[in-house]
Amino acid sequence: MEAQFTLFPIDTEFETPAEQTTSDGVELVSFRDLVPEIDDTGYLTHAIYAYPAKFIPQIVRYAINTYTKEMDWIVDPFAGSGTVGVEAYLCKRNAVLFDLNLLLNHIMPLKVYNGKKPLPEAELFKRLTAMRESNHRFTPDWSNVGYWYAPEILEVLSDYWGFIHNTDDDVSASIIKAALLKASKRFSNTEDRTPKLARSKRKLSAIAELLEENWRAQLDEMVDNLSLKTLRSLNDFVIYRQQHHNDQTPEIQWQGGVDSSYITVPRECDALITSPPYLQAQEYIRSTKMELFWLGHTEEAVRELSRLEIPYRKADRIVETETLDKVREMLTRDDLQKRLDSYFCHTVNALENAMDQLKPNAAACIFVGNPRIDGITVELWRILAEYFTERGWTFEKVYEDRIKTRKLFGARKNKNPDGMKSEFLLILRKKVICQTAAPRRESLLQDVEALAPDPKTSPDSDAS
């Protein structure tokens, strides 16, 4: 899409000292400096699954340490790769996680692995050997699967996944499954350096060269190495829990494939910690559809979820604040104005739905960037602060974390080629009585056909 910003995990280095403030009271910080005990964003189980635009754990850890206490309940309506759930567990907090993406249901059992003893490597390699000798076959329910794979690679991957779908669903199978997801993307025709499915001349050339080599040995080596790495990460997780959770075991609940705007949060919570999707960078289903198909989800199920992503669904109300209204007035394109309205409608709906379940005086910690749309900077944190303070919430603080370096892809049409300069952690505090305006209705998963997606922008219209 012409107006689409790239989705990809970012490499950041921070150089701004803490406890400086800008003219409008924003506090400049480096969360990596504030949380020095985390020196690797992929430590323990954080890196098991690839996911676009990950929430770095230092931000979550800071919010948890500052705004919650042990065994508090945290809610995250945009759970993504489950970073909040992992950090909550490590810090002895409970958490409720929701996300539209079904991948969350596959991610969390490994990321918060509850085994009591370290796993033996011999059992894993026994299972890997059985996978290579299996005569089962699984072909994804994906009409375009042949477009994304060379026939000989697809045949071997189908055999390996056939074993996964016909074996006991235990931790060894889950470990191999996570490794196969990465290998299935690496050995496909899609450009695996970007999250969305996109064939490129570079990747097609690389696959052609690979087929001239002993590619199956390379595939097996990758699966073996990734599986072993994941097993060792789980064992480190087990050891950490044995050392720190002798007396208390946190509870992490999750539900993927749901619309956070209307799902019932099952309990009162003590804090919200979340990072909503960036404006014009919300296509997480499309970015992970290859993984979802290999995991056994149907094309129709994935298509229905894709239609509920923000670029493809209509706003059911217009969110208005002083700053947002100014941005809306400056936009000259109707399609971008509709996308802006859709983004704030459904983002605010999901936030309100979760924040309604916060206890009085609980903190809502919302991490956002300030993207540009049609050349106009959209201050997400300011718009959210204006909206919620008008409804009785107390604005407490906003932290700015300046980004020194960022990976971007120059070959793609990017309306914001320089990237965002900063990201912001907005802190709101719930008063005893807060008004909300989000409409209450059943999950929109039942109303997909009524949304009437634009065929020009529908996810069904591309080759994927």
Beta bridge partners of 156: none
* More confident: 318 or 9: 318
pLDDT at residue number 217: 97
pLDDT, the chain, mean: 86
pLDDT at residue number 55: 86
> What mean pLDDT is predicted for residues 24-48?
93
- Does the pLDDT value for residue 439 go beyond 70? no
**Domain extents for the chain?**
20-112+251-461, 121-241
Nearest alpha-carbon partner for 114 in 86, 95, 91: 86
- Does the pLDDT value for residue 445 go beyond 50? no
CB neighbourhood size of 306 (10 A): 21
User: How sure is the predictor about 103, in pLDDT bands with cuts at 50, 70 and 90?
Assistant: very high
> What mean pLDDT is predicted for residues 95-115?
96
Least confident of 93-107, 176-190, 420-434, 435-449: 435-449
Beta bridge partners of 358: 269
- Does the pLDDT value for residue 289 go beyond 60? yes
pLDDT at residue number 463: 39
User: How sure is the predictor about 444, in pLDDT bands with cuts at 50, 70 and 90?
Assistant: very low
pLDDT at residue number 313: 86
Nearest alpha-carbon partner for 388 in 358, 429, 359: 429
> What mean pLDDT is predicted for residues 333-343?
92
Q: What kind of fold does domain 20-112+251-461 have according to CATH?
A: Rossmann fold (3.40.50)
User: How sure is the predictor about 455, in pLDDT bands with cuts at 50, 70 and 90?
Assistant: very low
Q: Write out the DSSP string of 192-226.
A: TTSSS--B-HHHHHHHHHHHTS-HHHHHHHHHHHH
d(CA 46, CA 65): 19
pLDDT at residue number 280: 64
Please, are residues 59 and 65 in contact by the beta-carbon 8 Å criterion? no
Q: Write out the DSSP string of 64-119.
A: HHHH--TT-EEEESS-TTTHHHHHHHHTT-EEEEEES-THHHHHHHHHT---SSPP
Prediction pTM value: 0.86
**First vs last Cα of the chain: how many Å apart?**
14
User: How sure is the predictor about 302, in pLDDT bands with cuts at 50, 70 and 90?
Assistant: very high
